[in-house]
A and B are shown apart, each in its own frame.
Chain A
Amino acid sequence: MFYCILCYNLESEIDAWTREKEAAIMAKCDAVAHELAAQGRLGPVGRLMPTTTAMTVRASREPLVLDGPFAETKEQLLGFYLVDCKSLVDALQVARNLVGDTGALEVRPLATFYPGIGLQ
């Protein structure tokens, strides 16, 4: 089963990280990703730009284009990993390896998967 691990945290807090802290966190995540890749289990990984760059298109009689992210949530969606996991327990373990001191990871199994053309 493929699982999507969605990373959430307060964007204002990410903004307040020092460069050292940011580097330490990314190094930790990279190490987990590296291991998953070595096991042949890692799919696409993406880090999103800040929500300030986001736009939302909402269904309406005429589709409504709004500035800003989809939802006014406390924590913002910052990025995602796609991982091949044997079980939910396995996926939760990956998320546990990735999670930092603050923020949250949402673990959601994929219903269908189209690998795309392998964008570079």
Chain B
Amino acid sequence: MSLPQGVRAGLLVGAVALALVPLSGDRFWVQFAGKLMITCIYAVSLDLLVGYAGLVSLGHSAFFGLSAYLLAGLANGLGLVSPLATLPLCLAFAGLAALLIGWLSLRATGVYFVMVTLAFGQMLYYLFSESPGLGGSDGVSILQRPRLAVLGRTILDLGDRTAAYAAIWVALVLSFLLLRRVVQAPFGHVLTAIRINEGRMRTLGYGTGRYKLAAFVLGGVLAGLAGYLDATLYGFVNPAQFGWRQSGLVLVTVLLGGKGTLYGPALGAALLSVLEHFAERATEHWSAVVGAAVIAVVLFLPRGVAGLLEGSRG
């Protein structure tokens, strides 16, 4: 299904506006927009699971955190800084972890699936926060950010805020286009159909477990990409990135924006970031303001903010 005309135009304007943020020269807004774009990648990766495959995961942060920690390990432990090496390794690691966790947790359905994924996320949280060798609860600083050098000459230094920002922008655009392609392909239709009625898909000859696992792995790889970029932008990783709060927040982002649309969760990430920022400035009880806004959206816009923009589909 193609995007409504207005949504397409809005996305284009949003992408151009984000590309222009570094021109402001304001460090805070560059960092803010960079973080926002990472959250968008993270949210659209979860939307593939929640909105298309119907898999409500509370362990999505596992892949974000594992990828971020691996980047720290490669940079600090092995001195490996080339993104040509670290990025594929981190994504493959997140994908393998998703394959293992997905293979185990997809044996459960419904609320049991939610609980199993939550348990995996929490296991990793406690493993990393209670292992001094992994930085413990303090986390780990990344001593060298990803840097690409050719013949001794640095051509891309992601320690530079603007370069990192540009890389995040490219990653967001590519992730979004990739997922649009995936959900518009027969694979995406199969996921949607599985969400609506899995038994019916089995009678059409689909081994639905494999499709769900493939979606889980793809979502995990993209969450790993978000984790890699987050670690690159901040130069720091900590166990909270594995925690249920992180997984819960990104799930709220997906629901707020409108699941099953891809652009909705991206919109949700933007709205939540902006709302948090201004609520923080206005009151010390900012989290109550954000919570009230989320409750209002859930009650009055069951299809999220995207439901306002889209027609009757759904």
Pairing of A with B: no
Chain A residues with CB under 8 Å of chain B are none
Residues of B within 8 A of A (CB): none
